[in-house]
Structures are given as C-alpha cells and as structure tokens.
A and B are shown apart, each in its own frame.
Chain A
Amino acid sequence: MIRIEKAAWAVIVGHARGAYPDECCGAMLGVSGVASIAVPLENSYHGSQTDRYEIRPEDLLAVDRQARREGLELIGIYHSHPDCDAYFSVTDLKNSCAWYSFVVVSIREGRFDHAKSFRPNADQTVAEPEDLAYPDLEESACQRS
C-alpha cells in the first residue's frame, strides 16, 4: 500500500504531462508508505524516450542523501506511460528492484488517465500490483488499486 499526498501527486502528474509524449521518471520520498515529496529526475535513456526511461544511479544516490538529510525515506519510483495503460511492462520488470514501490502513470493525449503501483520481487520475475491511493486533483481523495 502506498498513499501519495496532494503536493507530491501534483508534481508527478505535472511532470508526466510536461514530458509527454516522452516518459518521465522520478522518486518519491516519505515515511511508512506515505509519499509527501516527489522529486522529478532526468530521464537519461539514450534514444527515443517515448517508451523508455532510465534513472542515473548517481541521481538516485543524491535523492537518497536528500531524504536522509530531511529525515525522510526513499519509498518509491514513478514513471509515465504515454498513450498506453499503466501496466508493469517486461522492460519495467527487468530493470526494477524489489526495494521500492513502482508507480506507473498513464498519460493519454497529454492528460492524466490513471495510475497503478507495483512491487517487483527480488529476482525481477514478477511484480505484484499493490494498492495505490492518490488525490483527485480537482476534488477529494479517491482510491484505486
């Protein structure tokens, strides 16, 4: 279960819409399954980024240090899927790790469509869906899984 607070969620959706039609990526910081800060990171994939993303380990290291300084934890990674569903693709799985929640945001025609979260296993063979709660940016909070 991961819950994303409104400020962080606005950053994620804004980042995903801004990067469209490319994929965006970033980290989520928080405490015990609640993400309060989203940190956009550079998509460092060489080549077309419409269906690929890559996070530089140095960037993730810097985020981890930032989290430690602020008394928070690195709890998840987000990325967007432009014009397709928020599923966990084979590419996602093969390049994941079991330590974090992986939030996938579907952006269709530049607009937020839906989002899902996954927990990959240590061998990167399976990712189980996990409950994800995020606020409706217009109205009150809603929950999806």
Chain B
Amino acid sequence: MPKILIPTPLRQYAGNQSEVELSGGTVGELLDALSRQHAELRRHLYSDQGKLRSFVNVYVNDEDIRHLAKEATPVSAQDTISIVPSIAGGATAPAETATLSKEEILRYSRHLIIPEIGMEGQLKLKQAKVLLIGAGGLGSPLALYLAAAGVGRIGLVDFDVVDFTNLQRQVIHATADVGRKKLDSAIESMSAINPHVTLDRFDTALTSENALEILKDYDIVVDGTDNFPTRYLVNDACVLLGKPNVYGSIFRFEGQATVFAYRGGPCYRCLYPEPPPPGLVPSCAEGGVLGILPGLIGLVQATEAVKLITGIGEPLVGRLLLYDALAMRFRELKLRRDPECPVCGDHPTVRELIDYHQFCGVPRGGQAPAGLKEGEMDVTELKVKIDRGDRFILVDVREPHEFQICSIPGSVLIPLGELSKRTGELNPASEIVVHCKSGGRSARAVEFLKKSGFENVSNLAGGILAWSDKVDPRVPKY
C-alpha cells in the first residue's frame, strides 16, 4: 500500500504515527482517507473551504504533485507521499525604512524613551499602514495625531468639500480651506506636521465596489464615518479581509468607541445586527454635536490604533467604551462575538459585500433634488402663495432652539415630537404646508397628518435651507 509520511508536528493528530499506510488510487483519495481517519489532521491540511491549504505541498516520491496531475495524481503501492510546507518570509521593509534617521530620532524622542514603545515600537509605527475613512470630525484628530506619531503610511478616503459648518470641530481644516476638497486640506495639514509620512489619497466615496480593493493594502482600518451604510460596509469589509476596525461614533454630548474584528473579537454586526429604521437616529447634521466631542472619541481611536500597531497594552476589544461629556463619565459594556453573526459568526451568510444603502433603507448618495415628488411644494411656490395672500397654515416642525436661529415669517412652531398631541390646533379643512430644516422631518409629519385625516397637506421640499438658497438669502443656514 502507498505510504504517507506524517510531518513531526502533525503526528499527534495521527495517533503518533510517523507514517500511515492507506489504500487509494490517487493522492486526493489518500489524503481524504487520511483526514477521515484523523479528523484533527484535516484542519491542518485543508482550509474551511475544503481546499488544501496554500502552504501545503504534496510530493509523490520526489515529485511535487503540482507538476503532475495535482490531487488526481495516481499512486501505486510502492509510492511514498510526503507533506511539505512552503516557507518564506522576510523583514518586508526596504532597508531605508527599517531604521530611523537622526532627524526622526529627535522627532520621536519622547516615544523612544518610553520603554514600552522604544525603537522597536517606533519602527513598527513607521512600517504600519493605516486607512482612515473620512476626514471629518473623527478623522481630523485621528489624521493629525497618527501623522504626528509617525505612522509610516496613512490612507485617507473622503470625497467631501470643506464647509463652514465643519469648522466648529474638524480642526484639520482652516477657515481659508472652505470650498476646498477635504482631502487636499487634510493632506496639507498632515504633511506640515510630519513630512516623513506617506499619504495615500482616495478621492471617492467608499462603496461595495471599491472597498476591498482600497482596504486590502492596510493593516488597520479606522472608521470615522457618520452614516450607517458606510459603517456596515467598513465592518463587513474588515471582517472579510481580517483587518481590525477601530470604531468610533458621536452624537451631541455622547460618544462610543471600540475595536471590532480583531483576533476573534466581536464585529459591528454582533453589536447591531440590523440598522435602525431610516430617520430614527439623527446624524450630526440633523442632531448636532459638541464640537470637542469628536476630538475626544477620535483620539480614543488613535490611541487604540497605536496600541494595535505597537502591540502594547490591552486593546479595546470586546468592550464598548461609552462617554458622556455632560456627566463627564466613561462606562464600558462587554461585547461578545455572536456565533450567529451573519458576517463573523460560525456559519457566516454574508460572504461578500452587499448593497448597504438597500440594507439600511436609505437612498444612495446625496439628496438629488430631481424635481418634486408627489405631495411636495417648491419654496418658490410657497413664496408666491404668501405674496398672493393665500389662506393656509405653515407649520414648522423643527425644535424650539432651531426656530430661534431662523424661521419663515408666519409659520407656526409645532415640533415633530409634539405633533400627535397638538393636531387639535390645526383645522382639517385648511390647506397645510409643513417644513423643517431640509425636508426629512416634515415628510414624516405630512405622512402622520395624512393618516390622521388631514387631506390638503404638502411638504416644503428642501426645508428652510432651500428657502434661504432660493427665496431669502438673509435667512441664515445652519
């Protein structure tokens, strides 16, 4: 019978035999018989997909089966089958990046004198490749500090333009940068802080089509995004590629941070299997955010990235850090990997990237104002109605603190949350126009009013922002 020589470290899985005689006509049949006899051995030779692991070479006598008929290579009774791994490696880094220059030693001196970091840690930072998704609130402190810390290669993904409303928190951009690409402004600030860092520009939105290609060359991904489709996309891509995902999120005075998809730890979907219904969780643009908050959460993320790179400390894995700025308290929730998780569980059902806009139930890309939808009114039509003296009620469903910033003359303030209790204030026979900041909340108000028996209700498309753009530029935008 043909004989299979068992590599020393695998003998413990083969009943401590150094060789096994089995019957079979081909290499594939022999290996299959072997791993059926010794189930533990199978894991070492085959991947979960049932393919021979990439480093496993099989020889029939002195011939590699890759040069014969692969697993269909016939074997006869006198043949000896050997299993040999492919082994290679190397320090990877080209010689010039494997050391620090005199100038770099001076620059990183305060790292080099910490024993836990030292030269070894600083070289790891220099050889590290980190991808930042988003150059906004979280991305600003992340990009500045990771560049300053000496992370050798930083990729930035962003397609947005600096806006006045960004400046209250996105400290990587200056007032003079308004109107410029965030990428240009961020990269300029980072290179000014540390010219030794290599910066990769990705002037695009992260999508299911490009995510794996963009992420694959980085060691660590840091999520600084502000929307659910991208968050699920980043998570799934990280799990599929086996890259840690350093997560942070912020809202008003509260923030969260953790490290997902790291060495068997949980992923974002273990925490939130399903996205919230569209519109339930307001974004920073809708709900506001304390400008300082992303600084703090972004730096928690930056700290975790540096710890992962240098391998020091206890990573924020399996723990969700919750921060409340008003109470000035940090809390921690334990997180566990969910064995039923569709992405990182024991039997994953998501094996490739999906359509995350559809998954989250939100429209793709920016609000394309491609004409009015049914039940919508344009701001110019509203202006004509007001000037003509038409009889109708203009309801503003924003919050009182927003009403203080600006309002449309003649409007009645009924915040969305109070609408169900205050419908009695509205006459069902009159025409009603509802508005909010940009049209989202007022659409929900219109839907509610129609269900409550109001027939002549319309939604002001684009809200008070459109009013400021097209009708009255004196109305401030916020």
Contact = CB atoms under 8 A, between A and B. Distances in A.
A89 B92 contact: yes
Contact of B89 (A60, A92, A98): A92
B88 A51 contact: no
Interface string A96-131: 111110100000000000000000001111100000
Contact of B84 (A50, A57, A82, A95): A57
Contact of A124 (B5, B55, B62): B55
Contacts of B82: 61, 64
A95 B8 contact: no
B398 interface: no
Interface residues of B, number: 38
A60 B56 CA distance: 12
Contact of A99 (B7, B98, B119, B124): B7
B90 interface: yes
Contact of A91 (B7, B90, B219): B90
B25 interface: no
A82 B93 CA distance: 11
A79 B88 CA distance: 9
A98 B41 CA distance: 12
A17 interface: no
B243 to A, nearest CB: 10
Contact of A51 (B10, B91, B123, B263): B91
Interface in B40-71: 43-44, 47, 53, 55-57, 59, 62, 64
A58 interface: yes
Contacts of A15: none
Contact of A83 (B18, B88, B95): B95
Contact of B87 (A55, A73, A122, A123): A55
A45 B90 CA distance: 10
Contacts of B86: 55, 57, 95, 97
A52 B120 contact: no
A124 B119 CA distance: 26
A77 B90 contact: no
B85 interface: yes
A55 B263 contact: no
Nearest to A80: B91
Contacts of A53: 88-90
B90 A84 contact: no
Interface in A36-89: 45, 50-55, 57-58, 60-61, 64, 67-68, 73-75, 77, 79, 81-85, 87, 89
Contact of A85 (B5, B43, B120): B120
Contact of B7 (A64, A95, A96): A64
B9 interface: yes
A97 B56 CA distance: 9
Interface in B64-123: 64, 82, 84-95, 98-99, 119-120, 123
A90 interface: yes
**Main SS class of interface, B:** mixed
Interface string B117-134: 001100110000000000
B242 interface: yes
A96 B90 contact: no
Contact of B120 (A54, A57, A87): A87
A51 B43 contact: no
Contacts of A97: 53, 55-56, 85-87
Given A61-B59, A64-B7, A122-B44, A81 B91 contact: yes
Given A64-B7, A74-B8, A97-B55, A84 B44 contact: no
Contacts of B53: 97, 122
Interface in B131-175: none
Contacts of A126: 263
Nearest to B8: A73
Contacts of A55: 86-88
B59 A84 contact: no
B90 A52 contact: yes
Contacts of B8: 67, 73-75, 99
Nearest to A83: B98
Contacts of B62: 58, 61
Contacts of B7: 64, 74, 99
Given A61-B59, A64-B82, A122-B53, A89 B98 contact: no
A68 B7 CA distance: 10
B95 A45 contact: no
B18 A68 contact: yes
Contact of A50 (B9, B10, B88, B95): B95
B222 to A, nearest CB: 18
A20 B428 CA distance: 89
A51 B95 contact: yes
A56 to B, nearest CB: 9
Q: Which 3 A-B pairs have the closest CB atoms?
A: A92-B89, A52-B90, A73-B8
Given A51-B93, A81-B91, A97-B87, 13 more contacts: A21-B95, A55-B86, A57-B59, A67-B8, A73-B8, A83-B99, A84-B99, A89-B92, A97-B56, A97-B85, A99-B9, A99-B85, A122-B43
5 contacts: A58-B64, A60-B87, A75-B9, A83-B95, A97-B55
Interface of A: 21, 23, 25, 45, 50-55, 57-58, 60-61, 64, 67-68, 73-75, 77, 79, 81-85, 87, 89-93, 95-100, 102, 122-126
